[in-house]
Amino acid sequence: MIHRKTEQEIELMRESNQIVSDVHRLLMSHVKPGARVSELDAMAEDFIRASGALPAFKGYSSGSRSIPDFPATLCVSIDDEVVHGIPTERALEEGQIVSIDVGTEKNGFFGDGAITLPVGRVDPEKQRLMDVTRESLFRGIAKAVPGGKLQDISAAIQQHVEENGFAVVRDLVGHGIGRKLHEEPPVPNFGRAGNGPTLDVGMTLAIEPMVNYGSFKVRIAANGWTVLTRDGSASAHFEHTVYISKDGPVTLTNHFERKNG
């Protein structure tokens, strides 16, 4: 069942998602060669807790008893890591691209967003991968309108990615969000316009294209969490939480980024 939010609930979601944006803004200046991923994670956790919120990913269950709960505040996924990278003492290196995914919970409502950032100077093709992924997110968001179909979003993302020669990950998708981090409906980054549930006022969706430089195929690392490209090529990830208002899409995360997006 898809939960539609009231205007009061949207205000609470705005608060959780604002914290997500604030964490991204905070970390942007710290993503540079030599920075330790564990330090970024600690910074994010301190900020979220000081904002009266909880880190939503920490302690998240994989649903499998053989895999420990997610141990950190951030998912930090570097180069060929697609998503769900676990922060370690590892230091960032010049030329890497780093996806930072942030989840928050405040007043019973969740926020979720991700950006991919360059570490120092990066290869122009990696930059193009990041640019196309971010653009595809905005193409998808533009289709989040009342009366549209869910896969209008999916198709817009897929078309932009594939026109630019990259591949959309199939095994992971975006999601509804609200009182739970992951709600109905799933929001694939591939599909056919005109298909899927009808979009309606009050729906809140985490739209999150994961785009690989090479093949769309992925594998899971030995830690049970981290998703990697199977061919070792780089991958980028951008995510916004979006509210469908009567006037169209309202992005609840990363307002600052829209100026460049």
User: What is the nearest approach in angstroms of Mg ion to the Cβ of residue 239?
Assistant: 5
- Closer to Mg ion by CB, 117 or 206: give it: 206
* Under rule CB under 5 A, residue 187 binds Mg ion: no
User: What is the nearest approach in angstroms of Mg ion to the Cβ of residue 58?
Assistant: 15
* Residues near Mg ion (CB under 5 A), total: 2
Interior angle at CA 151, CA 145 and CA 155, nearest 5: 105
* Under rule CB under 5 A, residue 206 binds Mg ion: yes
- Closer to Mg ion by CB, 79 or 183: give it: 183
User: What is the nearest approach in angstroms of Mg ion to the Cβ of residue 111?
Assistant: 10
Stretch that binds Mg ion, among 70-78, 153-161, 203-211, 245-253 (CB under 5 A): 203-211
- Here the tokens at position 46 are 């301190």
User: What is the nearest approach in angstroms of Mg ion to the Cβ of residue 175?
Assistant: 6
- Closer to Mg ion by CB, 80 or 112: give it: 112
User: What is the nearest approach in angstroms of Mg ion to the Cβ of residue 33?
Assistant: 28
* Under rule CB under 5 A, residue 86 binds Mg ion: no
Secondary structure, 3-state, the chain: CCCCCCHHHHHHHHHHHHHHHHHHHHHHCCCCCCCEHHHHHHHHHHHHHHCCCEECCCCCCCCCCCCCCCCCCEEEEECCEEECCCCCCCECCCCCEEEEEEEEEECCEEEEEEEEEECCCCCHHHHHHHHHHHHHHHHHHHCCCCCCEHHHHHHHHHHHHHHCCCEECCCCCEEECCCCCCEEEEECCCCCCCCCCECCCCCEEEECCEEECCCCCEEECCCCCCEEECCCCCEEECEEEEEEECCEEEECCCHHHHHCC
Stretch that binds Mg ion, among 16-24, 107-115, 145-153, 154-162 (CB under 5 A): 107-115
Stretch that binds Mg ion, among 10-18, 189-197, 204-212, 226-234 (CB under 5 A): 204-212
User: What is the nearest approach in angstroms of Mg ion to the Cβ of residue 164?
Assistant: 23
Site string for Mg ion, 112-131 (x = CB under 5 A): x-------------------
User: What is the nearest approach in angstroms of Mg ion to the Cβ of residue 92?
Assistant: 22
- Closer to Mg ion by CB, 35 or 207: give it: 207
Residue 46 phi/psi, 5-degree rounding, is: -60, -45
Interacting residues with Mg ion (CB under 5 A): 112, 206
